[in-house]
Chain A
Amino acid sequence: MSTRGAGPDAGSDAGREPGRLARLLAPDQAWSLREALARPAMLGFALLTASYLRVLVHVTDVVGGTGALVAEVVVVLLVGAALASRVDARTALLGTGAVLVGGLLGYYSAIPASQRALIDLGVVLRDLFALLSGLSVFRLIQAEIWALAVLPAPLFGSWLLALRGEFPLSAAVGGSALGLFVLTGDAGFLTTLTGVVGAALAVALGELAPRRALAARWDTVVLVLTLMVVLSTTVSLVPGGDARPMLAGTGQPTLEGNVVANGDSVGIVGAIRLSPEVRFTVQSEREGYWRVGAYDRYTGGSWVRTGEARAYDGSLDPPPGGSITVEQTITAETTLNSMPALWKPVGVSGNVERATQVTAENGLRAVASISPGESYSVTSRRPVYTRRDLREAGTDYPAPIRERYLGLPDSTPDRVGERTAAIADRANATTPYGTAVAVEQYLESTKSYSLNVERPRGNVADAFLFEMDAGYCTYYATTMAVMLRTQGIPARMATGYTPGERVGEDEWVVRGLNAHAWVEVYFPETGWVTFDPTPSAAREETSESRVSQAREAGESGVDTGRSGSGEWTPTPAPTPEPTEGQDSTNGSTETPDLADIAEGRRTAAPGDVGTFSPGGSENDGDPSLPTPEEVGYGLVILLGGVAAGRRIGLDTRLYRFVWLRYQPRTDPVADVERAYDRVETLLAAKNRPRRPNETVGAYLDAIRATDSRVRTVAALYERAHHGGDADEAAADEAVDAADALVAASTPLLGRLR
């Protein structure tokens, strides 16, 4: 180098110095897009990418629209394809990191300035940790921007690496994106499974790149994938999250566990059961719905509460309109994870005060669970309003309410809004209040109450409104809230407990089966008003029959010292009302019979729904077609069975069995040769296979084959195979002898012959 530093060589050296960058960016001539796309492992990449894209598409669908996301995906794919010939794996990984950092910076700069002031590095890290420990992406207020900011990195990275044929690295990048959504709980079971199978396929097909290796190993790959699918659908090692085994167990969740666990989200599930255990007792001047929480973001299949809870700091704002004060003391009978109280709580006292948090929708939440026997007092300011107040409330909603409580997934079908408008029209409703009453009435009168329903696919509200005949409170509440939102009326789903069994003048016993979900509708000047579209008579009948059933069965925890002894009769009024004299939700005077709006749909009078018996099956009448999941699952098992059969040589055995017994005739020489092959196969099974270096004669001598038929076939074979000499007669003779020998060696058939 030193000797060549000067002179004419200096020019070429200088040209080599910037070469590093130039080399980095020089296109790789050997690489071709067409070839890269034709690799079978691309299928795995596509599956894996589809799995986490599905989550992101769902997120953006719920909170805004998918248009921006789709555009972003297209741009990333195009840029990746354009760059792929110029980068190696290391550059691609570095680029991925850069894109990720850039995306996150973009996200934080998109947060409104007022909130950004609060954000420092600690907050960023805490958010990240929260996401990784199960915080759903939906709970981020700027979920759409987050999705747009985070997506490009894994997509860009895994796409580049896949194009370069680095499938294990590509699967690692894509898999970490999917892993993030598994940890946040946003990737459902099928999504996760699709992604994992995709990653496995990408690695397997990518590593078995020469097609010959793939042809030799396909059964192993299929078997491993089948085991992945079957094991993950039947065994769960990671409890919790959305990604629970598809086929695991028969245990239905309890209504209470599903609805009032007071988590940050409520997933709408299928069949559900009731727990008759006593949860808490309430001492209160007035009865009402013991409210636990509310949810603002509807994802189509679940409800999510966005925003963060804050610590309780001594007092809470009263509702905007008139209100009366109600004092309650709640005593836990079993461990409580929530803090039920009448709406709207303004003050908490007792031991739990310090552990109390206020959620983003001003509900109460206990940081630690409340042990049995422990009690706390809540002061609530219960809104007081008249029907006229509500009717005249107008639509002048505050901006925060509009932003938060009117959103619907982009994919919500238009027919929901159209049907809601029709219902309102039929009821001559002109005000939000009129619409709310009409919808409540409509749902109450057209749907039956049943705990045993199958979780519909897609948008639950749409399915309940148009396809299902029966459901329980979550379905009613969800549907009503969504319907109201289509009309521009702010509504949310609230969860909690119904009053329960009244055991004294001011005392109620509340059981697990009192768990309930209802709707809160916002009215300016008044605040949130409760509507309950669930048919109360049917619901209570169901609850009561469950309680008496539990009592008969002697289940523990069904009664406290005072409940069930008939000390106080009657049991609570069918529909609890928020205000005395303001019979707002149950009055049908203003609403005509709406049942006929549901064209051709079976209408159920409230009295009809009492036929339900817990644990019974409502829909065992029609033989239902298998769901796509079941069909896919069946196909996977079938494919796995085929692969396993091949692994243990079942296919060759089957082939041999048929091959040994069925000989199609062609030309005489081939016939004789085939006849001998059959005989030799038989002999091989009975004695030993002919060694490759053994001649036919030597083999027959070695195994002492004395059967004249064997010798005949062998002689005919040698003449045909080496002498090229065989006629029809010889072929007949050989085939007949082979048939006879095969028949004689078949244990059962041979005897039948």
Chain B
Amino acid sequence: MSPDDPRSDGGDAAVDPGGDASPPTFEPLSVDAAGDLIEDVVDNVERVIVGKREAVEHIVVAVLAGGHVLLEDVPGTGKTMLARSVATSVDASFRRVQFTPDLLPADVTGVNVYNQKTQEFEFQPGPVFANVVLADEINRAPPKTQSALLEAMEERQVTVDGDTRPLPEPFAVIATQNDVETGRTYELPMAEIDRFAKKLRLGYPESDQEAEIIGRTAGHHPIEELAPVTDGHALRRARETVAEVRLGEPVRNYISRLAEYTRNHAQLGVSPRGSIALARTAQVRALLAGREYVTPDDVQAEAPTVLSHRIRPRTGSETGDDVVSAALSSVAVE
């Protein structure tokens, strides 16, 4: 298996995750085992996050597809808790970065600090060196800081003072964006938004669910009792399984026709990167359904969260969601 193995070429970059010449290879899990793994993680997260199974599924799917998630919502809807639960469930390291207007790129990536004892510079890794990184209120940091994180997301490595350091694997960024305070924010450019595999909204819980949340958090917060259900090793094996999920020609054509439709019906349509992300997440979705091949159902399930944020509609009254649902109802499946 060469470092340029096309199977690892799906998500974001063709960069070797380990950064070594001979990466460790992982035995793929069986389809059923991979599906169970996803189910287990989702079930586990649900013990903390009430009534958001769909959103949880999306996040887990994105992580398994090697992508990052942008959560857009009002404060206090459980974004941080969700990210932490996911990280805990997969037994991965979790770091949280609160983005503020005065946050510097080095605060994210890390800095070289001169060590008086050794008379050398030592690298102090930033919060980005974790398996799951929660980038809170990413739109409040200045563009330079934003792009430092986004570069890390894309490249899966960090370069400080000329030294390139790989990020751990798995690596997933869950960024949140607060859309209530539009003042003093730096809106993410389309080019950077495109790097998120999915953009989700959590939304307020239903009133009965909210009552349950209040009940659960009355004593000890459930997150403190949450135990991992899998580990990074199994996760990487599951990723190998994802890469082996069959993506037949009819589905490939379907995805490309959907992308073409958005290009013809919006000011800015879905980029090829978006199509690739859609295919990758559909592969994970197929595993969730216990199949070793992707069907158009998987594509239709993934398209709204994967494509919407990449589209700039023609009119102000239209949204990316509208364009995607128009595409889904207009493009024929094979």
User: Would you list which residues of chain B between 11 and 29 have a CB under 8 Å from chain A?
Assistant: none
Q: Does A8 contact B (CB under 8 A)?
A: no
Which residues of the partner chain A approach B329 to less than 8 Å between Cβ atoms?
Answer: 693
- Whether B332 contacts A718 by the Cβ 8 Å rule is no
Out of A692, A693, A695, A724, name the residue touching B295 (CB < 8 Å): A695
**Interface size classification for chain A:** 10 to 19
Which residues of the partner chain B approach A721 to less than 8 Å between Cβ atoms?
Answer: 248, 250, 334
Please measure, in the bound complex, the distance between the C-alpha atom of A725 and the C-alpha atom of B295, giving whole angstroms. Answer: 13
Q: Does B294 contact A (CB under 8 A)?
A: yes
Binary CB contact string for chain B from 58 to 102 against chain A (1 if under 8 A, 0 otherwise): 000000000000000000000000000000000000000000000
Binary CB contact string for chain B from 139 to 182 against chain A (1 if under 8 A, 0 otherwise): 00000000000000000000000000000000000000000000
Which residues of the partner chain A approach B300 to less than 8 Å between Cβ atoms?
Answer: 695, 698
- Whether B333 contacts A723 by the Cβ 8 Å rule is no
Which residues of the partner chain A approach B47 to less than 8 Å between Cβ atoms?
Answer: none
**B274 → chain A closest CB, angstroms:** 19
- Whether B248 contacts A723 by the Cβ 8 Å rule is yes
- Whether A697 contacts B248 by the Cβ 8 Å rule is no
- What is the chain B residue whose CB lies nearest that of A693? B329
- Whether B332 contacts A723 by the Cβ 8 Å rule is no
- Whether B332 contacts A692 by the Cβ 8 Å rule is yes
Out of B292, B296, B297, B334, name the residue touching A723 (CB < 8 Å): B292
Asked, given contacts A722-B248, A724-B248, whether A693 binds B291 with beta carbons under 8 Å apart, the answer is no
Out of B295, B328, B330, B331, name the residue touching A722 (CB < 8 Å): B295
Q: Which of B251, B291, B328, B333 has the most CB atoms of chain A within a 10 A radius of its CB?
A: B333
Q: Does B293 contact A (CB under 8 A)?
A: yes
- Whether A723 contacts B291 by the Cβ 8 Å rule is yes
Q: Does B184 contact A (CB under 8 A)?
A: no
Q: Does B314 contact A (CB under 8 A)?
A: no
**A702 → chain B closest CB, angstroms:** 13
- Whether B332 contacts A693 by the Cβ 8 Å rule is yes
Q: Does A719 contact B (CB under 8 A)?
A: yes
Which residues of the partner chain A approach B297 to less than 8 Å between Cβ atoms?
Answer: 695-698
Asked, given contacts A722-B251, A723-B248, whether A693 binds B292 with beta carbons under 8 Å apart, the answer is no
**B248 → chain A closest CB, angstroms:** 4
Q: Does A694 contact B (CB under 8 A)?
A: yes
Which residues of the partner chain B approach A722 to less than 8 Å between Cβ atoms?
Answer: 246, 248, 250-251, 293-296
Which residues of the partner chain B approach A725 to less than 8 Å between Cβ atoms?
Answer: 246, 293
**B256 → chain A closest CB, angstroms:** 15
- What is the chain B residue whose CB lies nearest that of A697? B297
- Whether A695 contacts B333 by the Cβ 8 Å rule is yes
Please measure, in the bound complex, the distance between the C-alpha atom of A698 and the C-alpha atom of B298, giving whole angstroms. Answer: 11
Which residues of the partner chain A approach B331 to less than 8 Å between Cβ atoms?
Answer: 693
- Whether A718 contacts B333 by the Cβ 8 Å rule is no
Q: Which of A692, A696, A698, A723 has the most CB atoms of chain B within a 10 A radius of its CB?
A: A723
Which residues of the partner chain B approach A724 to less than 8 Å between Cβ atoms?
Answer: 246, 248, 293
Which residues of the partner chain A approach B250 to less than 8 Å between Cβ atoms?
Answer: 721-722
**A516 → chain B closest CB, angstroms:** 80
User: Would you list which residues of chain A between 695 and 748 have a CB under 8 Å from chain B?
Assistant: 695-698, 718-719, 721-725
- Whether A697 contacts B293 by the Cβ 8 Å rule is no
- Whether A693 contacts B246 by the Cβ 8 Å rule is no
Please measure, in the bound complex, the distance between the C-alpha atom of A722 and the C-alpha atom of B286, giving whole angstroms. Answer: 11
- What is the chain A residue whose CB lies nearest that of B292? A723
Please measure, in the bound complex, the distance between the C-alpha atom of A722 and the C-alpha atom of B250, giving whole angstroms. Answer: 7
14 A–B contacts from the bound complex (CB under 8 Å): A692-B332, A693-B328, A693-B330, A693-B331, A695-B296, A695-B297, A696-B297, A698-B300, A721-B250, A721-B334, A723-B291, A723-B292, A724-B248, A725-B293
Further pairs besides A722-B248, A722-B293, A723-B292: 18, Cβ < 8 Å? A692-B333, A693-B329, A693-B331, A695-B296, A695-B297, A696-B295, A696-B296, A698-B297, A698-B300, A718-B295, A721-B248, A722-B250, A722-B251, A722-B294, A722-B296, A723-B248, A723-B291, A724-B293
